[in-house]
Amino acid sequence: MDIKKLVGEMTLEEKAGLCSGADFWHTKTVDRLNVPASMVSDGPHGLRKQDEKSDHLGVNDSIKAICFPTACATASSFDRELLISLGEALGDECQAENVSVILGPAVNIKRSPLCGRNFEYFSEDPYLAAEMAGSHIKGVQSKEVGTSLKHFLANNQEHRRMTSDSVIDERTLREIYLAAFEGAVKTGKPWTVMCSYNKINGTYGSENRRYLTDILRDEWGFDGYVMSDWGAVNDRVAGIIAGLDLEMPSSGGVNDARLVEAVREGRLKEEVLDQAVTRILTIVDRYIKNRKPETVWDKEAHHELARKMEGECAVLLKNQGILPLSDSDEVAFIGYFAAHPRYQGGGSSHINSTRVESAVEAAKDKGVIYAQGYEIDADQMNNTLLEEAVEVAKKVKTAVIFAGLPDSFESEGYDRTHMAMPECQNALIEAVATVQPNTVVVLHNGSPVEMPWIHKVKGVLEAYLGGQAVGGAVVDILYGEVNPSGKLAETFPIKLEDNPSYLYYGGEKDRAEYREGVFVGYRYYDKKKMEVLFPFGHGLSYTTFEYSNIKADKSAMKDDETVTVSLDLTNTGKTKGKEVVQIYVEAPDGQVIRPVRELREFAKVELEPGETKTVAFTLGKRAFSYYHVELKDWFVQTGAYLIHAASSSRDLREMISVNVESTVKEPVVYHLNSTIGDILSDPDAAEIIKPLIDRYKKGSALGNSDGDAAKSAITQQMDDAMFRYMPLRQILSFAPDVSSVKELQELVDRINKK
């Protein structure tokens, strides 16, 4: 396809038409120039392709497909290679079904457990989210199928999501919300990016040039096309000027006509329209040229892949020696989800699964007894089901209760109002644990839940929404055929009120203020030294691991260099297993308020019993920096940084210190209201001002009285503090004979010229 030639031959109307969908899922054709349509389809954890026999309005059944574990689960794998495998499978499915772009992954930050769409999002941590998304993208696009990284930007709630304004300061945007997208764009290089519904600091994402062009394209180097979320366009002309190339779905020609009118009236340059068309056609052509219609979609193999993946993702939260179970044990599976697992969330990512494997089905050869325990359609106690479950629990060695959140509790389109599980399920767990000391809880949920019964059960396995093969994967873990290796990609607070966004989440009408700033998730809990239910990065295994011999290839470095940190990891147990080594960096104390420590690297390592492996990590400038608003860049404060090798954000195993020297001088402009302490902390400035300070100390009325009353009123500590925090101009108030305004200003001017 000679895209430049094609664009030159198109009419204005044809160009405008290509910038919106033909229907719900397809781009437009230009038949007279042989420009083909291409199809996009929902993801990200399965192919939700609209049946071609439908009316393309997105309301009819999608084709049968594999539902893989959702992002809340896959992020807990901390496994880049696993996400690449998922992407490769999805890419093959798209090629088999002639889908050019799959809509995902979604990389929005989990600001609050209440967000109804958290099950589609990876993490509260931007680095982990970016790495998981980047690997997912690489896998899909290795099959010459595009991805659409979404939802750009600051789409962290479902409540009023189409009109809400996310009000966020620049440093927080850069360090938390933009960072997840930045890493995914730079490492994964997605073919497309999808803008969000909401406003960001007053401007809709669909027409926000600062993010769609200045940052996404000019700073990060994104070279694909930007599409709208479905119905996210507010002002189409403003959108295309900002960098929104493709409007989805079809506008019925209304917005196409507006683009034509704007060009003819001179409000829109035709070359801007040409640029959008070029971007769209470039991606269409990339897919067409690499079309592989012979691709085989092995649905059974992909089902088994989904089971294997969930085995890597599920997180063993608690285990007081009760797991793994033995085939010879008498075991009861209790709870509706044991026979009918909740394995995915509601909304645009909902997959029409080829089949669903329950735990009861997967354990049919193990003599497991099943009792339903609770109803799923309403949160009310069914005493008959409860009593039956209690009686069954009494007769066995171990009771495994399958619980969690029903579909109605979390979904795209609305947020949760609390963090509790249904009361009927909590009551069931309490009742069973009362009669059966050997009780395990398996959770099916897309976001953290409160666990009022946590101290009454011996084991908890967080399965999350683990895809259509979740039942088999859970049974594999319960019976020790798979050693659990998942780690929490989000903190589980004890109660909702502990969450840093609690007071302001959801906002007031259409204004959502992110007042917690950079203190999202563990960054907040660790800074507050707050007790949590389970910390970020937590996850148990059936074996044990020892960290030792941490080293760094240098003890001092400049911020434009890198340091390689290595350590030995040993499997000290009797079972083969995998450990996620997490690297956190702790900044030195300074004037900038920062988290205690932040995740900067990780690796998942598999070890045989007794085996030791050396694991190495390379850390560069971003690992030590924060976003400096005045510099408009990442800045490293000079000082000693602690590098922690950890099993979770609260389980720090090994530590080493590295001194990092900044190569960038902070922009400081002094003035008459600069404090004397700030000036003296700058060696160059202190040298200039020292003679004046010496004169001041001799002539100051403060602290120079010999009287007992004066000494008791003005202590040396008070005098020192007042002097340190006194603005320079105040010298004139306490020692007017020492200097003049003119002299002070001349000193300030000399300092600023340094």
Annotated active-site positions, please? 229
The string of DSSP letters for 268-290 reads S-HHHHHHHHHHHHHHHHHHHHT
Read off the DSSP letter of residue 84. Answer: H
Instruction: Sort strands 199-200 and 203-204 into parallel, antiparallel or unpaired.
Output: antiparallel
**742 contact partners, CB below 8 Å, separation of at least 6:** none
Tokens of 473: 């994967």
Q: Rounded distance, CA 60 to CA 343, Å?
A: 21
Max Cα–Cα distance, the chain, nearest Å: 100
First to last CA, the chain: 58
- Give 264: exposed, middle or buried? Use CB within 10 Å, 0-12, 13-18, 19+: exposed
Q: What is the 3-state secondary structure (H, E, C) of 621-690?
A: HHHHCEEECCCCEEECCCEEEEEEEEEECCEEEEEEEEEEECCCCCCCCCCCCCEHHHHHCCHHHHHHHH
Nearest Cα neighbor of 194 from 44, 312, 295 is 44
CA 630 and chain centroid, separation: 26
Look at residue 606 and give its three-state secondary structure.
strand
Q: Rounded distance, CA 754 to CA 751, Å?
A: 5
Tokens of 373: 């325990």
Q: How far apart, in Å, are the Cα atoms of 70 and each of 490, 598, 651?
A: 14, 25, 27
Read off the DSSP letter of residue 736. Answer: T
Check: CB of residue 423 under 8 Å from CB of residue 287: no
Q: How far apart, in Å, are the Cα atoms of 544 and each of 12, 161, 315, 574, 647?
A: 66, 44, 15, 8, 11
**419 contact partners, CB below 8 Å, separation of at least 6:** 113, 114, 448, 449, 450, 493, 495, 496
